[in-house]
Amino acid sequence: MDYIHVKDMEFWGNHGVFPEETRLGQRFRLSVSLALSLKEAGELDDLNKSVNYGDVFMRCERIMEGSPVKLLETLAETVANDLLTTYKGLVEGCRVEVIKPDPPIPGHYKEVSVEITRGRFS
């Protein structure tokens, strides 16, 4: 299995459980990994046999900066479903990590995140 990784994309979104999160917004980071065969794309030098990274970014941006949701889990599922549906027949699996660097919870930590894997991913 081959992989395309788009790591640490940064977005501003109004997601969260607390009213101030949806009102003020906050930073989010997102990393996605797509499992697919890149053999034909590499041999033919043909983007139509692969996934356009810029398109992946724009699709993720639309979701991450779009309508507010409460949970990171919802964002992760929405991104995974969108990518698997868009690239059906090409992408066999998708790993999505949604990172919230500054959640409004007490304590000292680097960040919180949710990571999901959907589809075949070996």
- SS3 at position 81: helix
The torsion angles phi and psi of 52, rounded to 5 degrees, stand at -75, 115
Query: Other CB atoms closer than 10 Å to residue 21's CB: what's the count?
Result: 18
The catalytic residues are 100
Q: What angle do CA 37, 84, 81 make, to 5 degrees?
A: 155
Could you give the CA distance from residue 114 to residue 104 in angstroms, rounded to a whole number? 16
Enumerate residues 6+ apart whose C-beta is below 8 A from 56: 4, 6, 32, 34, 83
